[in-house]
Amino acid sequence: MSKPPAESSPVSPLEPDGATVRRMGMRILDKLADWVDGTPGRPVLRSDGSARAARRMVEPAPEEGTPFPGLLARVMNEVIPVGLDPASPGYLAFIPGGGLPHAALADLLTGVVNRYTGLWRPAPALVGLEVAVLRWMCGWVGFDGPDAGGILTSGGSIANLCAVVAARDHAEVDDLRTLVAYCTAQAHNSVLKSTRTAGIRPSQVRTVPNDARFRMDPAALAVLVAEDRAAGRVPFLVVANAGCTPVGAIDPLGALADLCAAEAIWLHVDGAYGGAFAMTARGQEALAGLDRADSITLDPHKGLFLPYGTGAILVRDRARLQRSFTVQASYLPEPLVHPDHWDFADMGPELSRPARGLRIWLPMKLHGVGAFRRALDEKLDLARVAWRRVLELPHVRGVAAPELSLFAFRIEPPGRDADQVTRRVLREVGKMGRVLITGATVYDPALGASVFVARVCVLSFRTHQAQIDALLEDLSMAIERVVASG
Amino acid sequence: MSKPPAESSPVSPLEPDGATVRRMGMRILDKLADWVDGTPGRPVLRSDGSARAARRMVEPAPEEGTPFPGLLARVMNEVIPVGLDPASPGYLAFIPGGGLPHAALADLLTGVVNRYTGLWRPAPALVGLEVAVLRWMCGWVGFDGPDAGGILTSGGSIANLCAVVAARDHAEVDDLRTLVAYCTAQAHNSVLKSTRTAGIRPSQVRTVPNDARFRMDPAALAVLVAEDRAAGRVPFLVVANAGCTPVGAIDPLGALADLCAAEAIWLHVDGAYGGAFAMTARGQEALAGLDRADSITLDPHKGLFLPYGTGAILVRDRARLQRSFTVQASYLPEPLVHPDHWDFADMGPELSRPARGLRIWLPMKLHGVGAFRRALDEKLDLARVAWRRVLELPHVRGVAAPELSLFAFRIEPPGRDADQVTRRVLREVGKMGRVLITGATVYDPALGASVFVARVCVLSFRTHQAQIDALLEDLSMAIERVVASG
């Protein structure tokens, strides 16, 4: 039987009528309601049987259909539970991705109506909604001019790619091999990936030394730029971190903006993790100078707690994106001239794209910016509390204090390999299943060496004081065990 | 009031409990059920008041919240209806995007659980599911080797970008300015956008002449390649169309594969529109040689009828993608070695990404490949019927017969400007609101000039014989009116 009758209309199995869509949707909602209510009690990590579970999924394409309830049960019971749960309140690893259910509900709507938002004309009001969301973001980061703009991408990596390509084209060199970009060793791996994608080799991306707080050293940058200019190379791009992934450092944006302005170098700020904090008063202060960047990456699927699938590139002058990405075609309508009618296809690498605006607009309109600001402020508070309490644990040395909601530390019992001890402690904490934290290898100027650090990133919208308490209890116990086990 | 009480749990407005998610979801499902049932009766295009509707959306960021029912009503009544409806059965314009409701329901699930699929370890079974889907696709296009693979992207443009970057790096030149790519004038605009993004200038993309059926001329290609080699340039990439956007032509894949193999040039087939037809017997035949490509772009949000948001790049040897896109980071786990455990971040430009597998897997498992094959076969039939009947209309000259489900024609009344008449007829048909078709400007070898053609593309899963009948009625009436009006 190729058409499970319960899930298809008489017309065609691919064309369920409204009642069928509602019925299937309600089944999914029932499962998801249970899943949401069960979230606090589930372990953050379930790695047993991973390989087996994955192997079971690799099966031949099915010629015939399978009834829906069994498929849904399989997905919820065998597929989803295996691995890491970034939607868990105890997920303090990497940079937490969100999972705001309202955004997922918005996606359901977006998918069924399937409007096309690559260009303005096919969906003027839906594009208008997305333009509104982008203008809100521009406002938060201080891009207040009428030419400011941007696009929503699938994530921070494509946003960084847009910035690199626009900066590259803005430099107007004939030979790409002459270009030089700058960032610290803490830059996100998408910076190197984006420059490579854009035809700029890894050797053309120079690592600028950082200070003891892992922030780019502007004086050191100035020296490198002068050196490159003297050698006939063309410095074209500085990528500054606004909350780097390994330890959370914010590069000195004001000083870098001064230097980039004087040297006519494009300043891109990678705020995939930290940029959203510009919505808060403390974030504004920590990110001073952000509004002087040429372009900024935000990741609403991190800092605005959305499910994966939405990053943003914001630019002070959107003509710079248009210059790089506008390509005409014989089958497309004429480009637009009205300043509020944006053709997103002319500002980024995509032509077809999912409509990404509603998943931000709906939760923002529903709860107001205030609710998001308060949630981000809570994460700032939690990180500060956690940092102070972690420093009180035995053998802990703080490596990077939280500038926003991310900090790093090491466990250094006398006479022991601190890298190894720190790794073992992370594993022990993970096994307890209540919270998950991960580490990174960084060059620590205090030690003059590369070291492995544990890091805590508080950015899940479900993380509250209870998870910080759990972190401290489990970390304390893990340190005790690992140190005792010798 | 910042927290509409009906939509939030006691914890935080951003953390609805299961009951709240279910309640909100059911409200959306009710609206969508009505929307789905109302689809056949709605006009394909609603352009009145577009600018006003768009302007209304651009409003300041809301500090406080707004109750959900009003927001939902606003979206359904004021935002969604304005513009083109690609989910309409009468949408025969451009390349129709899908909107299969099952895929949208899968996205709801994906969004709420928010698993991370950029790497294998965090979601082994969900990545396994996506690997399975990619293996199915590889099977359909004839990539049967154990090294074949690919990734799901946001659409065809990013898929083409992956191919261009991989081909560029495979060529191993020091100076990108020496590279030359080849395509016909019918290539999708993302080919030029992708090469530009990858650091290859428009002047390095050569237009290969096409034959009278708009297919790339392999002999002409051979001449260009020889010319470029003699001038010291490096031919590195041929982009062949498998169903070009303007007129639906399929380039001679076998002959091009011969030439590319002999010349060691990467053959990329852009099958964003037509690749999915490889699932059918007639498609297999029309696409003979497809399996000899180095890489193939498919767009499941077109040919598999999914909502926008899913393209695919398939490669015969996935190490070639890995070579271009693998970038290590201090905070990421070690790369994988098991052949079935794919880290998607190492095969494309994204690190964070939405999980795109479930939106294909669920409808495929639910209805079986057979249901999709039958639907594609139906579209092939409909296009053939439509083509024959359109040719019987007065003043119509066929320009491109359907190789798959897309064809092109002109309306050429004696003594009249055929471009203008054809454009006016398209507008008249659009005004009637039942079907929408669009045009393109192509160089017609039969006339030795660039001409505007009307085109019909049958790819909506909701399009059946009734819409073809409507097309013929409305087209017939429009031709009569326009010709009579002089």
Residue B10 has pLDDT above 60, yes or no: no
Q: Which of B451, B382, B446 is nearest to B422 (CA)?
A: B451
Tell me which chain A residues have a C-beta less than 8 angstroms from the C-beta of B128: 53-58, 79
Residue A11 has pLDDT above 70, yes or no: no
- Share in percent of chain B as helix, strand, coil (round to 5): 50, 15, 35
- Per-residue pLDDT band for A414 (boundaries 50, 70, 90) equals very high
Summarize the confidence of residues A129-140 as an average pLDDT: 98
Q: Cβ neighbours of residue B413 under 8 Å, at least 6 residues apart?
A: B394, B395, B421, B483
- The answer to whether A437 and A355 are in contact (CB under 8 A) is no
Give the C-alpha separation, A237 to B151, whole Å: 30
Q: Which two tokens stand for residue B257?
A: 């594969």
Looking at the complex, report in whole angstroms how far the Cα of residue B188 sits from the nearest Cα belonging to chain A. Answer: 7
Query: DSSP characters for B293-304?
Result: -SEEEE-HHHHT
The CA distances from residue A345 to A43, A119, A335, A358, B387, in Å, are 41, 6, 10, 18, 31
pLDDT the model gives residue B331:
72
Tell me which chain A residues have a C-beta less than 8 angstroms from the C-beta of B299: 352
Looking at the complex, report in whole angstroms how far the Cα of residue A194 sits from the nearest Cα belonging to chain B. Answer: 7
Using the CB atoms, write b or e for B100-115: b if 16+ within 10 Å: bbbbbbbbbbbbbbbb
pLDDT digits (tens, 9 = 90+) for A43-61: 999 988 999 999 999 999 9
Residue A1 has pLDDT above 70, yes or no: no
Q: Which two tokens stand for residue B399?
A: 């320009």
Nearest CB to B308; choose among A64, A114, A325: A114
Residues B114, A86: C-beta atoms closer than 8 Å: yes
Summarize the confidence of residues B377-400 as an average pLDDT: 98
Residues A126, B80: C-beta atoms closer than 8 Å: yes
Query: Length of chain A, please?
Result: 486
Q: Which of A168, A161, A154, A184 is nearest to A244 (CA)?
A: A184
Residue B109's Cα: distance from chain center in Å?
A: 23
pLDDT the model gives residue B332:
73
- Identity (one letter) of the amino acid at A390? V
Residue A165 has pLDDT above 60, yes or no: yes
Element (H, E) at A27: helix A18-38
pLDDT the model gives residue B5:
40
Residues A66, B13: C-beta atoms closer than 8 Å: no
Looking at the complex, report in whole angstroms how far the Cα of residue A417 sits from the nearest Cα belonging to chain B. Answer: 19
Judge whether B8 lies within some domain.
no
Tell me which chain A residues have a C-beta less than 8 angstroms from the C-beta of B117: 308
Q: Which two tokens stand for residue B61?
A: 């960021």
Residues B25, A29: C-beta atoms closer than 8 Å: yes
pLDDT the model gives residue B11:
66
Which residues lie across from B153 on neighbouring strands? B311
- The answer to whether A160 and A348 are in contact (CB under 8 A) is no
- The answer to whether B45 and B433 are in contact (CB under 8 A) is yes
Alpha helices in A350-464 (DSSP H): 358-391, 418-432
Residue with tokens 């506008």: A326
pLDDT digits (tens, 9 = 90+) for A51-92: 999 999 999 999 999 999 999 999 999 999 999 999 999 999
The nearest alpha carbon in chain A to B45 belongs to A122
Looking at the complex, report in whole angstroms how far the Cα of residue A291 sits from the nearest Cα belonging to chain B. Answer: 18
Residue A3 has pLDDT above 60, yes or no: no
Judge whether B150 lies within some domain.
yes
- Residues of the domain holding A194: 108-365
Summarize the confidence of residues B164-177 as an average pLDDT: 98
Give the C-alpha separation, A240 to A252, whole Å: 8
Nearest CB to A440; choose among B63, B102, B330: B330
Give the C-alpha separation, B285 to A51, whole Å: 38
Judge whether B63 lies within some domain.
no
Query: DSSP characters for B46-107?
Result: E-TTHHHHHHHH--PPPSS---HHHHHHHIIIIITTSEE-TTSTTB-SSS-----HHHHHHH
Query: DSSP characters for B98-135?
Result: ---HHHHHHHHHHHHH----SSSTTSHHHHHHHHHHHH
- Per-residue pLDDT band for B9 (boundaries 50, 70, 90) equals very low
pLDDT the model gives residue A8:
42
Percent of chain A with pLDDT over 70: 97
pLDDT digits (tens, 9 = 90+) for A220-271: 999 999 999 999 999 999 999 999 999 999 999 999 999 999 999 999 999 9
Judge whether B261 lies within some domain.
yes
Looking at the complex, report in whole angstroms how far the Cα of residue B153 sits from the nearest Cα belonging to chain A. Answer: 9
Q: Which two tokens stand for residue A107?
A: 């996606």
Chain A interface disruption, residue of B11, B114, B346, most A CBs within 10 A:
B114
How many domains does chain A contain in total?
Answer: 1
- Per-residue pLDDT band for A6 (boundaries 50, 70, 90) equals very low
Q: Which two tokens stand for residue B337?
A: 């070695």
Within B186-265, strands assigned E span: 205-207, 234-241
Judge whether B56 lies within some domain.
no
Judge whether B176 lies within some domain.
yes
Residues A110, B98: C-beta atoms closer than 8 Å: no
Nearest CB to B154; choose among A66, A87, A154: A154
Residues A32, B26: C-beta atoms closer than 8 Å: no
Judge whether B184 lies within some domain.
yes
> What is the domain-level CATH number for residue B292?
3.40.640.10
Residues B189, A99: C-beta atoms closer than 8 Å: no
Nearest CB to B354; choose among A125, A308, A358: A308
Looking at the complex, report in whole angstroms how far the Cα of residue B357 sits from the nearest Cα belonging to chain A. Answer: 11
Nearest CB to A29; choose among B4, B22, B97: B22
Residue B7 has pLDDT above 60, yes or no: no
Judge whether B445 lies within some domain.
no
pLDDT the model gives residue A160:
98
